[in-house]
């Protein structure tokens, strides 16, 4: 009888160990870590943001039809023509776009708190410096205007990208100083921005 209990106890122990290893493997990489638990208020804000993003992508797909097709073996002239048409089409379709349509107060509040957590501590000082040293002269912070072609892009911290609301491939987050932008990946049109987002 005693032996039976020992065997059962050992089996349970082995199962716990296996589960522990599996969890450790799953979470060992910061970029693949599970998203932080968010409150119902934050979840509602993220849902609203996701809906706005989905709406933008639908609009983008529609206006992109007017742009010339772009292959993976394009010439510089074809790339230029595609980019210019896409930029103009997006801007025309969003003539009345205003700041804060995507970064609404509740979403902006969630993002600001996320940024504050990500950038706290001495080890993150280097990260802030890297963002601030990005040469963004010429960028006009204005919704529905293109990001200056001559300006550098800030590297977006991978560990932060995991925690922010996920974006489809045609939208990107970007920093310009303390401001956080939402930018169209191919046309570089500024879709929205949050002033003083970084703590």
Q: What is the DSSP code (8-state) at residue 189?
A: B
By CB under 8 A, is residue 75 in contact with other proteins?
Answer: yes
- Contact criterion met (CB below 8 Å) for 42 and 104: no
Residue 105, both tokens: 């107060």
Pairing verdict, β 171-176 and 179-184: antiparallel
Taking the complex as a whole, the smallest distance from the CB of residue 38 to other proteins amounts, in Å, to 16
Site string for other proteins, 29-48 (x = CB under 8 A): xxxx----------------
The stretch among 7-15, 41-49, 93-101, 122-130 that binds other proteins (CB under 8 A) is 122-130
Q: Please give the Cα distance from 108 to 114 (Å, whole number).
A: 10
The stretch among 10-18, 41-49, 107-115, 158-166 that binds other proteins (CB under 8 A) is 158-166
Q: Mark 38-76 as b/e (b = at least 16 C-beta within 10 Å).
A: beeebeebbeebeebbeebbeebeebbeebeeeeeeeee
- The helix (H) or strand (E) run that includes residue 82 is helix 76-93
Taking the complex as a whole, the smallest distance from the CB of residue 88 to other proteins amounts, in Å, to 15
Nearest to 130 by CA among 153, 114, 110: 153
By CB under 8 A, is residue 61 in contact with other proteins?
Answer: no
Q: Decide whether 19 or 79 has the Cβ nearer to other proteins.
A: 79
Figure out which of the listed residues 111, 114, 172, 193 binds other proteins, where binding follows CB under 8 A. 172
- Contact criterion met (CB below 8 Å) for 136 and 180: no
Q: Decide whether 58 or 126 has the Cβ nearer to other proteins.
A: 126
Q: What are the residues binding other proteins (CB under 8 A)?
A: 28-32, 70-80, 82-83, 123, 126-127, 130, 134, 149-150, 152-159, 161-162, 166-167, 169, 172, 185-186, 188
């Amino acid at each position: 009888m005693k032996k039976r209990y020992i065997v059962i106890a050992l089996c349970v122990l082995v199962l716990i160990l296996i589960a522990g290893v599996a969890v450790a493997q799953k979470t060992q990489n910061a970029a693949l870590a599970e998203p932080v638990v968010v409150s119902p208020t934050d979840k509602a804000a993220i849902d609203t943001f996701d809906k706005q993003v989905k709406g933008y992508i639908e609009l983008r797909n529609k206006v992109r039809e007017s742009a010339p097709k772009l292959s993976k073996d394009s010439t510089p002239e074809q790339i230029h023509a595609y980019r210019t048409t896409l930029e103009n089409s997006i801007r025309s379709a969003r003539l009345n776009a205003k700041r804060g349509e995507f970064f609404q107060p509740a979403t902006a509040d969630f993002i600001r708190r996320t940024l504050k957590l990500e950038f706290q501590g001495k080890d993150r000082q280097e990260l802030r410096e890297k963002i601030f040293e990005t040469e963004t002269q010429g960028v006009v912070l204005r919704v529905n205007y293109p990001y200056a072609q001559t300006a550098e892009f800030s590297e977006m911290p991978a560990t932060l990208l995991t925690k922010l609301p996920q974006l489809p491939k045609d939208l990107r987050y970007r920093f310009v100083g303390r401001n956080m932008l939402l930018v169209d990946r191919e046309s570089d049109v500024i879709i929205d921005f949050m002033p003083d987002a970084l703590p």
